[in-house]
Amino acid sequence: MAVEPGDGGGPARYTLRAGELRLDLNARLGQRLTLTHTGAIACTHCGRATRKSFAQGYCYPCFKRLAQCDTCIVKPETCHYFAGTCREPEWGERHCFRPHVVYLANSSGLKVGITRKTQVPTRWLDQGAIQALPILEVDTRQQSGFVETLFKREVADRTNWRAMLKGEVAPLDLVAERDRLLEGLAAGLDELRERFGADAIRPLDEAPVTLDYPVLESPTKVVSLNFDKTPAVGGTLMGLKGQYLMFDTGVINLRKFTGYEVSVG
C-alpha cells in the first residue's frame, strides 16, 4: 500500500497495489471492500514461492542472506560494516552511508525515530504520525542509531498502534520537546561529535509538520484482522492510517502481509 501527502495539507492519499492493480482507497471510503488471500505468498526480492513470509515479505533464504534483513537494520547502532562482516557491502554503501534524519513524532504520544533523508515525510505517514519534526541530520545510518539510542533514555521509540488508530492522541509542542531533549542530552551528543566529527551530527531548524488521514470514524475497540487466520478480510472501509485499513469489522496492517497474493472485491 502506497501513501503520499495530501494536497494542500489535506488527508494523505492511499493507493492499494496488488499486481498490476492500482486502487484509489480514498475513493472507497464508506464503501464495502473485501481482500481475499489466495493462499500464495511470493518473496518480494527473488519472487520464489514461500510458505511463510519473513521480515515482511522475504523467503527464508533471502531473509538469511540479504543485508536489508540483518538485525542492524532494526538496530543501526549494531552496524558491523567496518568489521568486514556486512552481508552485502555494496548494498550497505548505497543505503546506509547516506544522510539520515533523527526526528520527533507524535503518533500515540512523543517518540523519537530515524529515517533516510529521502524518506521524509513517507516514514511519518507510514507510522500514522499526526505531527513530526526533524531535529538532527547525520551522515550515516549507524550514527543515527547511536543518536536514537541516546534519545531513548528520555523518550519512547515505538508507537502504540492501538492508541494511534483510536485517534486518542493530543497535539504536542514538538519545538519545546526538541529544545528540552537537546538541552538534557547535550553532553551525550558532544561525545558522539567527538567520536564522529563535529559536523557529523548537525542540528536542524525546521518547522513542525502536521499530517492528516482519511478517516470517517475511528474504532473504539481495535480488533486485529489477519490473512493467516481469516483469508477473507473486509467490510465497510472506515479509514486509512499508517499502513492500516480500518473496517467496521476490524483493522489490518497490510505491510505485515507484503508478498501475499490477494484478490480485491
Write out the chain's pLDDT in tens, 265 residues. 899 999 888 999 999 987 778 899 999 999 999 999 999 999 999 999 999 999 999 999 999 999 999 999 999 999 999 999 999 999 999 999 999 999 999 999 999 999 999 999 999 999 999 999 999 999 999 999 999 999 999 999 999 999 999 998 999 999 999 999 999 999 999 999 999 999 999 999 999 999 999 999 999 999 999 999 999 999 999 999 999 999 999 999 999 999 999 999 8
In a domain, 60, yes or no: no
In a domain, 75, yes or no: no
The range of the structural domain enclosing residue 202 comes to 98-209
What is residue 9's predicted lDDT score, i.e. its pLDDT?
A: 83
What is residue 37's predicted lDDT score, i.e. its pLDDT?
A: 96
- Within 139-243, strands assigned E span 201-203, 209-210, 232-241
My answer on whether 134 and 175 are in the same domain is yes
My answer on whether 132 and 204 are in the same domain is yes
In a domain, 71, yes or no: no
What is residue 21's predicted lDDT score, i.e. its pLDDT?
A: 80
Which among 194, 209, 224 is the end of a domain? 209
What is residue 249's predicted lDDT score, i.e. its pLDDT?
A: 97
My answer on whether 218 and 193 are in the same domain is no
pTM: 0.93
Give, for 193, the enclosing helix (H) or strand (E).
helix 186-196
CA distance 14 to 146: 33
Cβ–Cβ < 8 Å for 147, 136: yes
My answer on whether 172 and 244 are in the same domain is no
In a domain, 88, yes or no: no
